[in-house]
């Protein structure tokens, strides 16, 4: 099966194929979640301790339903989060995700969001903090079907590179077959702000603590609305401390 997986496939172009192969036989098929009309789902995805972690879900959201995911993707070797989302009329999907890694970690969040109904809303925010030679990727495809009018889709991707060898790939992708839609996307890759660093140090923070605090600020806003947000915030803080 893994023989068929190559980096020539768009969804795997930055993947760690060897790492994927090592877990492939034990890999569960994508979790299938059906959200009934008017129903809401909220999930927090925390990482495990495994060196290679792959988590996949296919979520179908019926009319006026909603799915809200909060995802922390961090693994020492390879972490892959794969989402395939379908939205019916008036459905809503939000995903707030972070890739945090150092060393030679390869972390990716790969999403396909299919707007098939009227007035669907989707919002995806991904923040990556990458140190060492880590690679962080967001591949986000938004498909707006013929007739899915008044779709409102938004993608925001930002990455912070801590070291020269770190790399971020951001690829928002739109495929639109309706003419009355709003699809926004933005991406940026940067380093810590020198003015903020000096300000923090002038208040007494040593460089490592100042860096950790600024990175925390960059990430933590993602989980303002997460249920039991302290768990994911603590896990993110620990992941940041490990690389800052």
Partner 1 sequence: MLRIENLHATVAGKAILNGVSLHVPAGEVHAIMGPNGSGKSTLAYVLAGRPGYAVSEGSATFTSTRHPGLEPGPALLEDGGEETRVPGQARDDEQSADLLALEPHERAAAGLFLGFQYPVEIPGVSMLQFLRESLNSQRRARGEAELSGAEFIRRAKAQAAALGMDSEMLKRPVNVGFSGGEKKRAEMVQMGIMNPRLAILDETDSGLDIDALKSVGAGINRIMRAPDKSVLLITHYQRLLDYVQPDRVHVLSRGRIVRSGGAELAHELEREGYAEAAA
Q: Is 204 in the site for partner 1 (CB under 8 A)?
A: yes
Number of H helices, E strands in the chain: 4, 12
Closest CB 70 distance from partner 1, rounded Å? 16
Question: Binding to partner 1 by residue 59, rule CB under 8 A?
Answer: no
From 5-13, 30-38, 96-104, 200-208, span contacting partner 1 (CB under 8 A): 200-208
Q: Is 194 in the site for partner 1 (CB under 8 A)?
A: yes
As given in the structure block, the two tokens for residue 232 are 């994911």
Helix (H, G, I), strand (E, B) or coil at 228: coil
Q: Does 180 bind partner 1 (CB under 8 A)?
A: no
Q: Does residue number 51 form part of the binding site for partner 1 (CB under 8 A)?
A: no
What is the widest separation between alpha-carbon atoms in the chain? 57
Distances from the Cα of 111 to the Cα of 29, 85, 92, 185, 224, angstroms? 16, 8, 15, 14, 22
Nearest distance in Å: CB 223, partner 1: 11
Q: Select from 215, 218, 217, 156 the least CA-distant residue to 187.
A: 156
Q: Which is nearer to partner 1, 61 or 129 (CB)?
A: 129
For partner 1, the binding residues in 92-111 under the rule CB under 8 A are none
Cα(181)–Cα(144) distance, rounded to whole angstroms? Answer: 8
Where would I find the H helices in 31-129? none
Interface with partner 1 (CB under 8 A), residue from 147, 165, 217, 227: 217
Residue 20 has which token pair?
């994927």
**Residue choice 34, 221, 238, 241 for contact with partner 1 (CB under 8 A):** 221
Q: Which stretch binds partner 1 (CB under 8 A): 59-67, 72-80, 101-109, 207-215?
A: 207-215
Only one residue has tokens 């994508």, namely 30
Chain residues that interact with partner 1, rule: CB under 8 A: 194-196, 198-207, 209-210, 213-214, 216-221
């Amino acid at each position: 099966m893994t023989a068929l997986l190559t980096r020539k496939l768009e969804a795997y172009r930055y993947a760690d194929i060897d790492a994927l192969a090592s877990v492939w036989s034990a890999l569960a098929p994508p979790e299938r979640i059906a959200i009934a009309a008017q129903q809401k789902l909220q999930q927090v995805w925390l990482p495990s301790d495994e060196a290679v972690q792959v988590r996949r879900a296919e979520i179908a959201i019926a009319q006026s339903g909603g799915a809200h995911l909060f995802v922390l993707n961090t693994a020492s070797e390879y972490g892959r989060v794969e989402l395939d989302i379908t939205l019916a009329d008036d459905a809503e999907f939000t995903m707030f995700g972070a890739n945090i890694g150092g060393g030679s970690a390869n972390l990716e969040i790969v999403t396909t969001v299919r707007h098939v109904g009227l007035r669907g809303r989707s919002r995806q925010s991904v923040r990556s903090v990458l140190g060492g030679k880590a690679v962080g990727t967001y591949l986000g495809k938004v498909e707006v079907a013929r007739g899915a009018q008044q779709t409102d889709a938004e993608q925001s991707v930002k990455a912070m590179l801590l070291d020269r060898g770190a790399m971020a790939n951001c690829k928002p992708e739109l495929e639109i077959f309706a003419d009355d839609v709003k699809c926004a996307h933005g991406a940026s890759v940067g380093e810590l702000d020198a003015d903020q660093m000096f300000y923090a140090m002038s208040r007494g923070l040593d460089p490592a603590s100042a860096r950790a605090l600024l990175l925390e600020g960059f990430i933590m806003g993602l989980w303002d609305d997460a249920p039991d947000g302290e768990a994911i915030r603590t896990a993110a803080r620990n992941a940041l401390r490990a690389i800052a």
